[in-house]
A and B are shown apart, each in its own frame.
Chain A
Amino acid sequence: MPELERHSFDVLVIGAGGAGLRAAIEAREHGMRTAVLCKSLFGKAHTVMAEGGIAAAMGNVNSNDNWQVHFRDTMRGGKFLNNWRMAELHAKEAPDRVWELETYGALFDRTKDGRISQRNFGGHEYPRLAHVGDRTGLELIRSLQQKVVSLQQDDFAETGDYESRLRVFQEFTVTDLVLDDGRVAGAFGYWRESGRFVLFEAPAVVLATGGIGKSFKVTSNSWEYTGDGHALALRAGASLINMEFVQFHPTGMVWPPSVKGILVTESVRGDGGVLRNSDGKRFMFDYIPEVFKDKYADNEAEADRWYTDPGNNRRPPELLPRDEVARAINSEVKAGRGSEHGGVFLDVSTRLPAEEIMRRLPSMHHQFKELADVDITAQPMEVGPTCHYVMGGVRVDPDTGASSVPGLFAAGEVSGGMHGSNRLGGNSLSDLLVFGRRAGAGASDYVAGLSARPVCSDEAVAEAERTAVAPFSGSDAGGENPYTLHMELQQAMNDLVGIIRRAEEMEQAVERLEELKRRAATVVVEGHRQFNPGWHLALDLRNMLLVSECVARAALLRTESRGGHTRDDYPSMDAEWRRKLLVCTLSGSSVEVVEEPQVPIRPDLLELFEHSELQKYLTADELEG
């Protein structure tokens, strides 16, 4: 067996999206020797897909905006299940993180007076999203990537080596974390290109691996989203919270089949686009929930006036939080009022002049023209819900991103709590920056405080290697094909733990997942380890199954509907459930889910809300207390 490649760093960041790169920049600026490990090429992470913008209460377009308003919107969007401290830090720090991007070279769209322009988005009271047309994610990833390069140039000038302090290992997959007496000691994985194994020795790991969407059949997520960080954390002994909350973005493409699920940005609605059913009716007026009635217009005339006069009119219901819009579309299609390909119509062509559409939504225009042969300046788009984001993730300390495992940190989509039961559009990119930076700093402080470095034992490394090569020597009895198993998993999650859930189906899902787990143990792949996608999928499958089990088991336990968890058999929100978190841990090879009390909201933050609003979410004794 060829000798194992070894590297030693102070901080390892797994994932090179917004959270990972921001964490790496922070760790490097704290003087840590830092490595970033990512499955794709540097600069291709899923963050590039974010379209609408970064939410930050800079108040450039409406000066009434401030962190308190942003905090309120975030808590409302998450149906008050959010970790309030995370929502507070996020609202306070997001503007600084956006302005910092400008110092990295980012070029946002501007207001007339030369500031960063901000656009309207679902659930945000004021225009709040800093943006670049509809390709904001690309701008964010490129700015961070270029900042990494700029730090490497500084290091080159000083040491003669670009990679002396900050190195990116691209097209590299981590399969296991290595522990020493319950503390993080390193990470084990393989080069996707050669299949060669590598051991990274490092006392701190920041997970920034994003989400889990590839466990679902219709998703806006790329192949990388296999829940790796969620699963690594579970196997290392950390816990996950809020895994039952999965966001189905209301507007994914529904046709052609090969692009089903690909995102259609919410900006289409923020900029005036409306949703219609096959009768041509603008149906969202029928779906305004009680808790939002005073904020959303109940007639077209008022809704249309809002775009030019937001001070005196209520918002159009197309801009309700994503969970509400997704459920509404789902109901319309189920009632037989859907489009030809099983979606509804999203129309901007009759709402804005063609050149305005081209200016504000260039990449949507491009995407529909090239992939669906639809000209959105002349025709409506067909859209439907698509699995987009997981609110659940690693339970972390809000200030430092630390998990319960010493040395293990998490930031971005892989962490849980910030968004409660439902994330507002635009709050993801800001989440990445605010908590990426905090996790990078948290990990650096942790490493600086260590008296001795943990050690990766030979046994632990040998075990990780055995697990990784297992698919090549799969048992004769099974011989399962990873692609087949993956498709069955996606179908099961879509059908049984999808946008609308009920107990019997979720029980079926849990059984189905047990069966898939058994079969996955016999997966066999052909060929060798060099760039072998079948093998890669076989290893990712292990993570997807584990994470799917968390989703299904937690969803079964939560007997209410809230945000990204909608149950046919328990259709309303239950204030008692707001006080409870479902916490997933790994016990042997099975997921265990237990209820734990939610941390109560700090009184001064509660005071930011009207008593009448709190009554909709909190229990009577919480209100008294």
Chain B
Amino acid sequence: MGYQGHFRVWRGSAEGGGLEDFTVEVNEGEVVLDVIHRLQATQTPDLAVRWNCKAGKCGSCSAEINGKPRLLCMTRMSVFAEDETVTVTPMRTFPVIRDLVTDVSYNYRKAREIPAFKPPEGVAPGEYRMQQVDVERSQEFRKCIECFLCNNTCHVIRDHEENKESFAGPRFLMRVAELEMHPLDEADRVQQAQSSHGLGLCNITKCCTEVCPEHIKITDNALIPMKERVADRRYDPIVWLGNKLFRRS
């Protein structure tokens, strides 16, 4: 049955703010987002929170709960003790707009910097043939709901604003891997992953994989294989020698 839960919610804007305490009803089977909505409906009508599908499919309601990057709609209240204070704060890596809503435009900028799928020349629509086993690798990455929790947690940019310029973040490095592993994509993406999207900054601590609500193995299946492809190309001694001898850059 229902109980009175203790919540601390960060409220404020780009100019500043802080944690505010609330006592609010919690019912059986609810998730954190339900409680945030109850706060809106009963105590704080102007509490800003971004959400949409409420089923873990759209990736809108990303925030940090007790310091952990999570989706508000997929965090059940039953994982907390009834007397535990639940602290909800906005994602830290992105600038706050208001309350729990952050400016995630960094992610949309990075999405634009990844060259799009390059369709195979001379293959008409309807003539694409691919084997299930070959599409499955990229399909895993296409499960991504773009909640940006991986980019939020990644230490390369979490506390290093200066890296945002050169680093696409796990989400978009995974997008590069997805296209690189697409059976019919015709672009060469290996060099760019390192030179334009900052793959070298990733030191595979797997924080992104840990927070992924879709349980995509970002590090093992996307980032490490990309690093290996880069290494094959860049550090291959014969290629290196060829480049030296024939002055190819």
Interface of A with B (CB < 8 Å)? Answer: 40-44, 46, 48-49, 58, 95-96, 99-100, 102-105, 107-110, 113-115, 117, 132-133, 135, 137-139, 142, 146-147, 149-150, 152-153, 156, 162, 193, 222-224, 255-259, 262-263, 363, 366-367, 370-373, 481, 483, 525-528, 530-535
B133-146, CB under 8 A of A: which get 1 and which 0? 00100110011011
A100–B31 Cα distance when bound, in Å, is 39
Do the beta carbons of B56 and A114 come within 8 Å of each other?
no
Point out the residues of chain B lying under 8 angstroms from A49, CB to CB: 53, 55, 57-58
Residue of B nearest to A370 (CB): B74
From A135, A152, A223, A483, contact of B143 by CB (8 A): A135
A531–B145 Cα distance when bound, in Å, is 23
Closest A-B pairs by Cβ, 10 of them: A256-B29, A105-B117, A150-B116, A114-B129, A527-B46, A534-B45, A99-B125, A531-B48, A99-B126, A483-B41
Do the beta carbons of B117 and A48 come within 8 Å of each other?
no
Point out the residues of chain A lying under 8 angstroms from B143, CB to CB: 135, 138
Q: List 5 A-B contacts (CB under 8 A).
A: A40-B60, A43-B146, A109-B132, A150-B117, A526-B45
Do the beta carbons of B45 and A525 come within 8 Å of each other?
yes
Do the beta carbons of B57 and A105 come within 8 Å of each other?
no
Do the beta carbons of B142 and A255 come within 8 Å of each other?
no
From A139, A152, A533, contact of B142 by CB (8 A): A139
Point out the residues of chain B lying under 8 angstroms from A532, CB to CB: 45-46, 48
Q: Which of B70-119 contact A (CB under 8 A)?
A: 74, 76, 97-99, 101, 104, 108, 111-112, 115-117, 119
Do the beta carbons of B54 and A48 come within 8 Å of each other?
no
Do the beta carbons of B131 and A222 come within 8 Å of each other?
no
Separation in Å of the A480 CB from the closest CB of chain B?
A: 12
Do the beta carbons of A48 and B74 come within 8 Å of each other?
no
Point out the residues of chain B lying under 8 angstroms from A535, CB to CB: 46
Point out the residues of chain B lying under 8 angstroms from A370, CB to CB: 56, 74, 76
Interface of B with A (CB < 8 Å)? Answer: 13, 27-31, 34, 40-41, 45-60, 74, 76, 97-99, 101, 104, 108, 111-112, 115-117, 119, 125-126, 128-132, 135, 138-139, 142-143, 145-146, 179, 182, 185, 214-215
Separation in Å of the A356 CB from the closest CB of chain B?
A: 14
Point out the residues of chain B lying under 8 angstroms from A40, CB to CB: 52, 58, 60
**A258-B30 contact in complex given A105-B116, A113-B129, A132-B142, C-beta closer than 8 Å:** yes
From B13, B30, B126, B145, contact of A256 by CB (8 A): B30
**A105-B182 contact in complex given A48-B58, A483-B45, C-beta closer than 8 Å:** yes
Separation in Å of the A345 CB from the closest CB of chain B?
A: 18
Residue of B nearest to A137 (CB): B57
A113–B108 Cα distance when bound, in Å, is 37
Do the beta carbons of B56 and A257 come within 8 Å of each other?
no
Point out the residues of chain A lying under 8 angstroms from B98, CB to CB: 193, 530-531
Point out the residues of chain B lying under 8 angstroms from A137, CB to CB: 57
Do the beta carbons of B52 and A224 come within 8 Å of each other?
yes
Separation in Å of the B230 CB from the closest CB of chain A?
A: 22
Do the beta carbons of A533 and B58 come within 8 Å of each other?
no
Separation in Å of the A522 CB from the closest CB of chain B?
A: 16
Do the beta carbons of B50 and A41 come within 8 Å of each other?
yes
